[in-house]
Amino acid sequence: MPSRFGKYTLIRKLATGGMAELFLAIQKSVAGFEKLLVIKRILPSMNQDRAFIEMLLHEARVAATLSHPNIVQIFDVGQTDGQYFIAMEHVHGEDLRSIVRQMKKKAVLEFPLEHALAIVLGMCAGLSYAHEKSELDGSALNIVHRDISPQNVVVTFTGDVKIVDFGIAKSDSRVGEATKSGKLKGKVPYMSPEQARGEHIDARSDVFSTGVMLFELTTGKRLFKGQSEYETLRLICEREYPRPSDVRSDYPMDLEPIVMKALAKDVSQRYQSTREMQADIEAFVRRHQIAVSHIALNQFMQSLFEDKLAAQKEALLQGKQLADIIEMQHAMTSASELDVDASGQRVTSTNSMPAAARTVTDVSAQAHGRRGGLVFGIAAGVILLGAVGGGAGYMLVKKKGDDDTKASVPVAAPVKGSIVVESDPPGASIWINGDLRAEVTPATIDKLPTGVALDVKLTMDGFEHAKQDVKLEGSEAQKVRLELKKGSVVVEVSVSPEGLSPVFTLDGKSVSGPRIEGVTSGVSHKLVVNAPGYVDQTVTFTGSAMETKRLDVALEKAPEKHVVPVVRPTGPSGPAPQPPQPAGSGKLNVGASGGWCNVTVDGAPRGATPVAGIELSAGSHRVTCTTAEGKTQTATVNVPADGTARYKFTL
């Protein structure tokens, strides 16, 4: 370094991963044209994987067609000297993960709501543009980002929001569909349920990931954080999701439905596009007159990174001088200003360069060790990485001296404590400081901080939430035992027209009605009412403690279907007449709390929990759950036509 790579000058290597190496580079041309960018050069070992190269380059070419203020631009895709590369926009800003870390250093406790909404609105705008992008002939590209996460959303120091790494996006066009290598994956805590299960995904998967980001930015809490990737996947696919108001009691009431609709497990209940989500957020902003502004976001970034920006200004100035000298060297070499050595080979002569050029080059080489590469640190801020090490993200070019100083300071290991959480009845979900744990009661939870207040909350369907504040002192385990009381809300449902025999389903489970007791207060519930010959009606409600909630549900006649009568044989030898089955088909999702089990439906094996999207005929089905120890539970589940039934076994 520095060196030429085609029409680019590589100034500094930024990182090397399992698939590619990244460089800060400058492109120069006539009339003083120069552009700072990032080159992602595919490693020689990956050049042998033709399926990977074809897939990556195709998707990069697709991403290069995207031109939007909220998307980092890909400028060039090609090959130089047998090495494949992608040239990408250099972004002067910080990703959301770095911003949150800097906020902690500055003792900024909450992410300002107006800035959180500005960031999510920028994300929605960029994703909507990409999702709706078409080929020149008008056919849809069906682009899905697949990796919306804090590392891939950058806020520039001018207050702009940029989505990065559309270079690993999926499209349905030609070879891009065949991602055979399986090397490009999203980050587990931000995957949609369908992506986590390895199912087909579309733009609604990006909607879910954006919903996770909105939840975390506006509550300050992680949504899915298990002790391992497997536990995190279980949280996404199997467990109930917290509502923002469970984490923050002062959460805006009309923002919560937007978050929860984006986080719907059933894709048909989710926002069908980021454009719809963007429209609802914009309406919320107008309704509450929230000062969402690029200028305000710019000022927020400037205040957070004031010290870093001053250092970057000096680095950029010196980097510009170095780039000029590199270009001068290349021009002199191209003009054949070469010497010949004793063997007759033509070599570059340092003495043939101007004195100023020699001075800066020599000083730069000597100063590199003691200044930690400041001259080469043109991108001392965030530099676009892009799919390094199987993922994507940004890196901060730091001074080596700082790292050495930090490494030399001994840091005492913090004292960690543990709690034993029990409940009556057992099987409750455990929340600590607003974070849903993977364990259920009874459970021992280790590696908890001591000397600080811990908010322990237990939840279970049909029971009121139970809470207790705990402060751990020392490493000895502390016991927390809470009694869960039956839900205190009573729901009385009035169904019209009269004389029907309605069936009630509350939160995916069949209940007896029209009076439903034991409903949890302070939580949003979904009641589905159906009756033979009528269209299902869904009502969403929330009840207060000890409240009797009265709901009026009017059912409408279903369109009549022409049924061909079937003549059945009669007499003693004929089969007994069977009751009519509902027409159509639906889907069934089966989960388990407190462990896992193998699922069979009507005697047919369906795999281990969680199992989702089982297509069945509408009507009753027998579902069996068998644990590894051979214990068996059986339930009868009614699958609605054109709907999804959900059942969870408690092990």
Report the candidate in 431, 486, 421 with the shortest Cα–Cα distance to residue 459.
Answer: 431
- Residues 6 or more apart whose Cβ sits within 8 Å of residue 249: none
CA 564 to chain centre: 50
Cis? peptide before 410, omega within 30° of 0 = no
Residue whose structure tokens are 């890909």: 74
Q: How far apart are CA 571 and CA 582, in angstroms?
A: 26
Shortest CA distance to 651 belongs to which of 567, 589, 587, 595? 595
State the Cα–Cα distance between residues 60 and 171, nearest whole angstrom.
10
- Check the CA dihedral 440-444-447-451 and report its sign: positive
Q: What does the alpha-carbon distance between residue 212 and residue 191 come to, in Å, rounded to a whole number?
A: 9
Catalytic residue set: 147
Cα angle, residue 383 at apex, residues 382 and 386 outer, rounded to 5°: 125
CA distances (Å), origin 38, targets 23, 77, 325, 364: 6, 12, 19, 22
Round the CA-based radius of gyration of the chain to a whole number and report it: 30
- Output the 3-class SS for 571-583: CCCCCCCCCCCCC
Q: How far is CA 165 from CA 186, 294, 451, 512, 609, in A?
A: 11, 22, 41, 51, 33
Distances in whole angstroms, Cα of residue 306 to Cα of each of 92, 93, 281, 384, 400: 14, 12, 30, 21, 20
CA distance 644 to 614: 9
Q: Which tokens is 211 given?
A: 């919903």
In the chain, the amino acid numbered 69 is P
For 596, the 3-state DSSP assignment is coil
Helix H or strand E encompassing 314: helix 306-334
Per DSSP bridges, beta strands 74-80 and 83-89 are: antiparallel
d(CA 429, CA 418): 17
HEC readout, 493-509: EEEECCCCCCEEEECCE
- CA separation for the pair 26, 36 (Å, rounded): 5
Query: Sheet harboring 611-617: ordered strands across?
Result: 611-617, 585-593, 644-650
How many other CB atoms sit within 10 Å of the CB of residue 442?
15
CA-nearest of 458, 394, 349, 332 to 164 is 394
Which pair of structure tokens corresponds to residue 174?
């030609």
Nearest to 116 by CA among 297, 334, 307: 297
The amino acid occupying position 38 is: V
